[in-house]
Amino acid sequence: MATIRDVAKEAGVSIATVSYVINNSRPVSPETRRKVLEAIERLGYRPSNIARGLRARKARAIGYSWRPMPNGQINVILDAFLESLALAAAAEDYHIVVYPTSTATDEVTFYRGLIEAERVDGFILSNTNYDDPRIRFLLEAGVPFVAFGRSNPEWDFPWVDVDGAAGMRQAVAHLAALGHRRIAFIAWPEGSLSGDERLRGYHEGMAAAGLTVDPAWIVRGEMRYEVGYQAAQTLMALPAERRPTAIIAVTDLMAVGAVNALVDMGLVVGQDVAVVGFDDIPTAAYLRPPLTSLRQPIAQVGRLVVAMLLTLLEGETLSQPHVLLEPELIVRASTAGTRP
Protein backbone atom coordinates (compact mmCIF):
# COMPACT_ATOMS: atom_id res chain seq x y z
CA MET A 1 0.00 0.00 0.00
CA ALA A 2 1.17 3.50 -0.83
CA THR A 3 2.12 5.68 2.14
CA ILE A 4 2.04 9.42 2.68
CA ARG A 5 5.83 9.38 2.22
CA ASP A 6 5.36 7.76 -1.24
CA VAL A 7 2.88 10.48 -2.21
CA ALA A 8 5.27 13.23 -1.11
CA LYS A 9 8.11 11.72 -3.16
CA GLU A 10 5.89 11.26 -6.22
CA ALA A 11 4.60 14.85 -6.07
CA GLY A 12 8.00 16.33 -5.24
CA VAL A 13 6.77 17.98 -2.04
CA SER A 14 7.22 17.51 1.70
CA ILE A 15 5.22 15.05 3.80
CA ALA A 16 3.80 18.03 5.67
CA THR A 17 2.45 19.51 2.40
CA VAL A 18 0.67 16.25 1.57
CA SER A 19 -0.84 16.32 5.06
CA TYR A 20 -2.03 19.90 4.51
CA VAL A 21 -3.78 18.89 1.29
CA ILE A 22 -5.40 15.81 2.84
CA ASN A 23 -6.51 17.61 6.00
CA ASN A 24 -7.10 21.01 4.38
CA SER A 25 -5.26 22.42 7.40
CA ARG A 26 -2.91 24.96 5.76
CA PRO A 27 -3.01 27.08 2.58
CA VAL A 28 -1.47 25.29 -0.43
CA SER A 29 -1.10 26.77 -3.90
CA PRO A 30 -3.47 25.42 -6.58
CA GLU A 31 -0.54 24.00 -8.55
CA THR A 32 0.88 22.18 -5.52
CA ARG A 33 -2.56 20.88 -4.57
CA ARG A 34 -3.03 19.56 -8.09
CA LYS A 35 0.33 17.73 -8.03
CA VAL A 36 -0.47 16.13 -4.69
CA LEU A 37 -3.95 15.02 -5.76
CA GLU A 38 -2.61 13.60 -9.00
CA ALA A 39 0.08 11.67 -7.09
CA ILE A 40 -2.58 10.31 -4.73
CA GLU A 41 -4.62 9.15 -7.70
CA ARG A 42 -1.66 7.55 -9.51
CA LEU A 43 -0.49 5.67 -6.42
CA GLY A 44 -3.94 4.75 -5.21
CA TYR A 45 -3.16 6.21 -1.80
CA ARG A 46 -6.00 6.34 0.69
CA PRO A 47 -5.75 7.98 4.11
CA SER A 48 -6.20 5.42 6.86
CA ASN A 49 -9.44 4.90 8.69
CA ILE A 50 -7.52 5.92 11.81
CA ALA A 51 -6.65 9.34 10.41
CA ARG A 52 -10.21 9.84 9.17
CA GLY A 53 -11.51 8.94 12.60
CA LEU A 54 -9.19 11.48 14.20
CA ARG A 55 -10.30 14.21 11.83
CA ALA A 56 -13.91 13.44 12.72
CA ARG A 57 -13.08 14.46 16.33
CA LYS A 58 -15.14 11.72 17.96
CA ALA A 59 -13.05 11.30 21.10
CA ARG A 60 -12.92 14.91 22.34
CA ALA A 61 -9.57 14.01 23.82
CA ILE A 62 -6.00 15.23 23.36
CA GLY A 63 -2.95 12.99 23.80
CA TYR A 64 -0.01 14.22 25.87
CA SER A 65 2.96 12.35 27.28
CA TRP A 66 5.83 13.48 29.45
CA ARG A 67 9.01 12.06 30.92
CA PRO A 68 9.09 11.92 34.71
CA MET A 69 12.19 13.53 36.21
CA PRO A 70 14.80 11.36 37.94
CA ASN A 71 14.91 11.39 41.72
CA GLY A 72 16.24 14.68 43.03
CA GLN A 73 15.21 16.65 39.94
CA ILE A 74 12.12 18.71 39.25
CA ASN A 75 10.60 20.39 36.23
CA VAL A 76 8.15 22.93 37.58
CA ILE A 77 7.59 24.44 34.14
CA LEU A 78 6.30 21.25 32.50
CA ASP A 79 4.16 20.54 35.55
CA ALA A 80 2.61 24.00 35.21
CA PHE A 81 2.23 23.45 31.46
CA LEU A 82 0.26 20.24 32.01
CA GLU A 83 -2.04 22.06 34.43
CA SER A 84 -2.62 24.84 31.90
CA LEU A 85 -3.41 22.24 29.20
CA ALA A 86 -5.96 20.52 31.37
CA LEU A 87 -7.71 23.78 32.25
CA ALA A 88 -7.76 25.06 28.67
CA ALA A 89 -9.02 21.73 27.31
CA ALA A 90 -11.72 21.39 29.98
CA ALA A 91 -13.02 24.85 29.09
CA GLU A 92 -13.70 23.47 25.57
CA ASP A 93 -15.18 20.19 26.82
CA TYR A 94 -12.03 18.20 25.98
CA HIS A 95 -9.87 16.16 28.29
CA ILE A 96 -6.17 15.30 28.24
CA VAL A 97 -5.04 11.69 27.93
CA VAL A 98 -1.75 11.67 29.85
CA TYR A 99 0.89 8.97 29.93
CA PRO A 100 4.45 8.92 31.35
CA THR A 101 7.22 7.69 29.03
CA SER A 102 10.97 7.31 29.44
CA THR A 103 12.23 7.95 25.88
CA ALA A 104 11.10 9.59 22.65
CA THR A 105 10.73 6.12 21.13
CA ASP A 106 8.36 5.14 23.94
CA GLU A 107 6.36 8.28 23.24
CA VAL A 108 5.97 7.32 19.58
CA THR A 109 4.69 3.91 20.69
CA PHE A 110 2.24 5.68 22.99
CA TYR A 111 1.03 7.90 20.14
CA ARG A 112 0.62 4.95 17.80
CA GLY A 113 -1.44 3.07 20.37
CA LEU A 114 -3.79 6.00 20.94
CA ILE A 115 -4.20 6.51 17.19
CA GLU A 116 -4.97 2.85 16.52
CA ALA A 117 -7.48 2.79 19.38
CA GLU A 118 -8.99 6.09 18.10
CA ARG A 119 -8.87 7.42 21.65
CA VAL A 120 -7.69 10.95 20.81
CA ASP A 121 -8.35 13.63 18.21
CA GLY A 122 -4.82 15.00 18.13
CA PHE A 123 -1.69 15.57 20.18
CA ILE A 124 0.19 18.24 22.08
CA LEU A 125 3.95 17.85 22.49
CA SER A 126 6.44 19.46 24.85
CA ASN A 127 10.17 19.24 25.57
CA THR A 128 10.97 19.15 21.85
CA ASN A 129 14.46 18.91 20.42
CA TYR A 130 16.42 18.57 17.17
CA ASP A 131 15.46 15.58 14.96
CA ASP A 132 12.56 14.86 17.27
CA PRO A 133 11.18 11.40 16.31
CA ARG A 134 7.74 12.28 17.71
CA ILE A 135 7.36 15.21 15.33
CA ARG A 136 8.60 13.16 12.38
CA PHE A 137 6.11 10.39 13.20
CA LEU A 138 3.10 12.69 13.53
CA LEU A 139 3.96 14.59 10.33
CA GLU A 140 4.21 11.33 8.41
CA ALA A 141 1.00 10.00 9.97
CA GLY A 142 -0.88 13.15 8.99
CA VAL A 143 -2.26 13.50 12.52
CA PRO A 144 -3.06 17.00 13.89
CA PHE A 145 -0.68 18.21 16.60
CA VAL A 146 0.78 21.37 18.11
CA ALA A 147 4.08 21.56 20.00
CA PHE A 148 5.32 23.61 22.92
CA GLY A 149 8.77 24.12 21.44
CA ARG A 150 10.55 24.10 18.11
CA SER A 151 12.60 21.51 16.24
CA ASN A 152 14.48 21.37 12.92
CA PRO A 153 13.99 24.65 11.02
CA GLU A 154 13.04 22.79 7.82
CA TRP A 155 10.16 20.95 9.53
CA ASP A 156 6.95 22.90 9.09
CA PHE A 157 4.54 22.26 11.95
CA PRO A 158 2.54 24.45 14.35
CA TRP A 159 4.28 25.45 17.58
CA VAL A 160 4.33 27.90 20.46
CA ASP A 161 7.63 28.63 22.17
CA VAL A 162 9.22 30.97 24.69
CA ASP A 163 12.10 33.04 23.31
CA GLY A 164 14.95 31.93 25.55
CA ALA A 165 17.49 33.94 23.56
CA ALA A 166 15.52 37.16 24.12
CA GLY A 167 15.30 36.34 27.81
CA MET A 168 19.04 35.94 28.16
CA ARG A 169 19.62 39.19 26.30
CA GLN A 170 17.40 40.87 28.90
CA ALA A 171 19.37 39.28 31.74
CA VAL A 172 22.75 40.36 30.37
CA ALA A 173 21.51 43.90 29.69
CA HIS A 174 20.19 44.13 33.27
CA LEU A 175 23.50 43.01 34.76
CA ALA A 176 25.55 45.24 32.45
CA ALA A 177 23.42 48.22 33.48
CA LEU A 178 24.37 47.45 37.10
CA GLY A 179 28.04 47.69 36.12
CA HIS A 180 28.91 44.01 35.75
CA ARG A 181 31.53 43.23 33.12
CA ARG A 182 32.45 39.64 33.99
CA ILE A 183 29.20 37.71 33.56
CA ALA A 184 29.25 33.91 33.60
CA PHE A 185 26.71 31.42 32.27
CA ILE A 186 25.74 28.00 33.63
CA ALA A 187 24.47 26.11 30.58
CA TRP A 188 22.98 22.75 29.66
CA PRO A 189 25.07 20.21 27.69
CA GLU A 190 25.39 20.76 23.95
CA GLY A 191 22.56 19.45 21.79
CA SER A 192 19.64 20.89 23.74
CA LEU A 193 17.61 23.11 21.42
CA SER A 194 16.24 25.37 24.16
CA GLY A 195 19.61 25.33 25.94
CA ASP A 196 21.40 26.35 22.74
CA GLU A 197 18.92 29.18 22.23
CA ARG A 198 19.52 30.52 25.74
CA LEU A 199 23.28 30.31 25.30
CA ARG A 200 22.96 32.15 21.99
CA GLY A 201 21.06 34.92 23.76
CA TYR A 202 23.82 35.17 26.37
CA HIS A 203 26.47 35.60 23.66
CA GLU A 204 24.32 38.16 21.82
CA GLY A 205 23.69 40.07 25.03
CA MET A 206 27.36 40.18 25.89
CA ALA A 207 28.22 41.43 22.38
CA ALA A 208 25.50 44.08 22.57
CA ALA A 209 26.96 45.30 25.87
CA GLY A 210 30.45 45.43 24.36
CA LEU A 211 31.68 42.61 26.61
CA THR A 212 34.04 39.78 25.67
CA VAL A 213 33.19 36.28 26.83
CA ASP A 214 35.94 34.37 28.61
CA PRO A 215 35.46 30.67 27.68
CA ALA A 216 36.01 29.79 31.36
CA TRP A 217 32.80 31.67 32.20
CA ILE A 218 30.62 29.05 30.47
CA VAL A 219 30.10 25.91 32.57
CA ARG A 220 27.85 23.12 31.25
CA GLY A 221 25.92 20.41 33.05
CA GLU A 222 22.61 18.61 33.46
CA MET A 223 19.62 20.31 35.06
CA ARG A 224 20.46 19.49 38.66
CA TYR A 225 20.94 21.50 41.83
CA GLU A 226 24.37 19.95 42.37
CA VAL A 227 25.54 21.07 38.93
CA GLY A 228 24.69 24.70 39.76
CA TYR A 229 26.48 24.39 43.11
CA GLN A 230 29.64 22.93 41.58
CA ALA A 231 29.59 25.40 38.68
CA ALA A 232 29.62 28.35 41.09
CA GLN A 233 32.57 26.80 42.94
CA THR A 234 34.43 26.40 39.65
CA LEU A 235 33.74 29.99 38.62
CA MET A 236 34.79 31.45 41.97
CA ALA A 237 38.05 29.49 41.81
CA LEU A 238 39.17 31.53 38.79
CA PRO A 239 41.92 34.12 39.32
CA ALA A 240 40.60 37.39 40.77
CA GLU A 241 41.02 39.30 37.51
CA ARG A 242 38.88 36.70 35.65
CA ARG A 243 36.45 35.81 38.40
CA PRO A 244 32.83 36.62 37.45
CA THR A 245 30.87 39.21 39.42
CA ALA A 246 27.57 37.88 38.05
CA ILE A 247 26.21 34.47 37.09
CA ILE A 248 23.26 33.62 34.85
CA ALA A 249 21.89 30.07 35.10
CA VAL A 250 19.87 28.35 32.38
CA THR A 251 17.28 27.30 35.00
CA ASP A 252 16.24 28.40 38.48
CA LEU A 253 17.13 25.01 39.96
CA MET A 254 20.75 25.47 38.89
CA ALA A 255 20.66 29.10 40.01
CA VAL A 256 19.59 27.99 43.49
CA GLY A 257 22.58 25.65 43.59
CA ALA A 258 24.86 28.53 42.61
CA VAL A 259 23.34 30.82 45.26
CA ASN A 260 23.88 28.29 48.03
CA ALA A 261 27.47 27.64 46.93
CA LEU A 262 28.20 31.37 47.04
CA VAL A 263 26.66 31.69 50.50
CA ASP A 264 28.71 28.72 51.74
CA MET A 265 31.82 30.54 50.48
CA GLY A 266 30.94 33.52 52.65
CA LEU A 267 29.86 35.76 49.74
CA VAL A 268 26.84 38.06 49.80
CA VAL A 269 24.59 37.23 46.86
CA GLY A 270 23.32 40.41 45.21
CA GLN A 271 26.33 42.42 46.36
CA ASP A 272 29.52 40.37 45.97
CA VAL A 273 28.05 38.26 43.16
CA ALA A 274 24.74 38.72 41.33
CA VAL A 275 22.71 35.69 40.24
CA VAL A 276 19.92 35.38 37.65
CA GLY A 277 17.82 32.29 36.96
CA PHE A 278 15.34 31.26 34.29
CA ASP A 279 11.73 30.05 34.83
CA ASP A 280 10.70 32.05 37.93
CA ILE A 281 9.61 28.97 39.83
CA PRO A 282 7.18 29.64 42.73
CA THR A 283 9.92 29.41 45.38
CA ALA A 284 12.16 31.97 43.64
CA ALA A 285 10.52 34.86 45.50
CA TYR A 286 11.04 33.17 48.90
CA LEU A 287 14.74 32.41 48.71
CA ARG A 288 17.33 34.38 50.68
CA PRO A 289 17.92 36.57 48.85
CA PRO A 290 14.90 36.37 46.51
CA LEU A 291 16.04 35.31 43.05
CA THR A 292 15.96 37.51 39.97
CA SER A 293 14.57 35.30 37.21
CA LEU A 294 12.99 35.19 33.76
CA ARG A 295 9.30 34.29 33.99
CA GLN A 296 7.86 32.10 31.24
CA PRO A 297 4.20 32.80 30.28
CA ILE A 298 3.25 29.14 30.73
CA ALA A 299 -0.48 29.68 31.25
CA GLN A 300 -0.60 31.61 27.97
CA VAL A 301 1.36 28.87 26.19
CA GLY A 302 -1.12 26.24 27.39
CA ARG A 303 -4.12 28.24 26.21
CA LEU A 304 -2.53 28.90 22.82
CA VAL A 305 -1.52 25.33 22.00
CA VAL A 306 -4.99 24.04 22.87
CA ALA A 307 -6.70 26.78 20.85
CA MET A 308 -4.44 26.09 17.87
CA LEU A 309 -5.05 22.36 17.97
CA LEU A 310 -8.82 22.82 18.16
CA THR A 311 -8.63 25.14 15.15
CA LEU A 312 -6.86 22.40 13.20
CA LEU A 313 -9.44 19.85 14.32
CA GLU A 314 -12.15 22.12 12.92
CA GLY A 315 -10.42 21.86 9.53
CA GLU A 316 -9.50 25.54 9.62
CA THR A 317 -6.23 27.23 8.74
CA LEU A 318 -4.04 28.71 11.45
CA SER A 319 -3.48 32.41 10.84
CA GLN A 320 -0.31 32.24 12.96
CA PRO A 321 1.14 28.71 13.08
CA HIS A 322 4.36 29.81 14.82
CA VAL A 323 4.12 31.87 18.03
CA LEU A 324 7.22 33.07 19.90
CA LEU A 325 6.59 34.66 23.30
CA GLU A 326 9.10 36.68 25.33
CA PRO A 327 9.77 35.90 28.99
CA GLU A 328 9.59 38.69 31.56
CA LEU A 329 12.59 39.63 33.71
CA ILE A 330 11.51 39.72 37.37
CA VAL A 331 14.13 41.69 39.30
CA ARG A 332 14.72 40.76 42.94
CA ALA A 333 17.44 41.08 45.56
CA SER A 334 19.86 38.54 44.03
CA THR A 335 20.89 41.32 41.62
CA ALA A 336 20.30 44.26 43.96
CA GLY A 337 23.84 45.59 44.15
CA THR A 338 25.91 47.55 41.66
CA ARG A 339 29.55 47.10 40.68
CA PRO A 340 32.00 50.05 40.97
Q: Could you give the residue range(s) of every CATH 3.40.50.2300 domain in the chain? A: 49-162+301-325, 164-296+328-335
**Single-letter residue type at 318:** L
User: Which stretches of the chain score pLDDT less than 70?
Assistant: 1, 24-26, 47-58, 70-74, 338-340
Roughly how many angstroms between the first and final C-alpha of the chain, as a whole number? 72
Give the Cβ contact number of residue 120 at 10 Å.
25
Strand order in the sheet with 183-187: 218-220, 183-187, 246-249, 274-279, 292-295, 328-330
Q: Which CATH architecture has domain 164-296+328-335?
A: 3-Layer(aba) Sandwich (3.40)
Spatial strand order of the sheet with 322-325 comes to 95-100, 61-66, 122-126, 145-148, 159-162, 322-325
Which one-letter amino acid corresponds to residue 335?
Answer: T
pLDDT recorded at residue 50: 46
Domain with CATH 1.10.260.40 in the chain: 1-47
pLDDT at 105: 81
Instruction: Please state which CATH number belongs to domain 1-47.
Output: 1.10.260.40
Contacts of 148 (CB under 8 A, 6+ apart): 81, 124, 125, 126, 127, 128, 159, 160, 161, 301, 305
Residue 44: the pLDDT is 86
Question: What is d(CA 15, CA 139) in angstroms, rounded to the nearest whole number?
Answer: 7
* CATH match for 49-162+301-325 among 3.40.190.10, 3.40.50.2300, 1.10.260.40, 1.10.1040.10: 3.40.50.2300
pLDDT digits (tens, 9 = 90+) for 240-279: 999 999 999 999 999 999 999 999 999 999 999 999 999 9
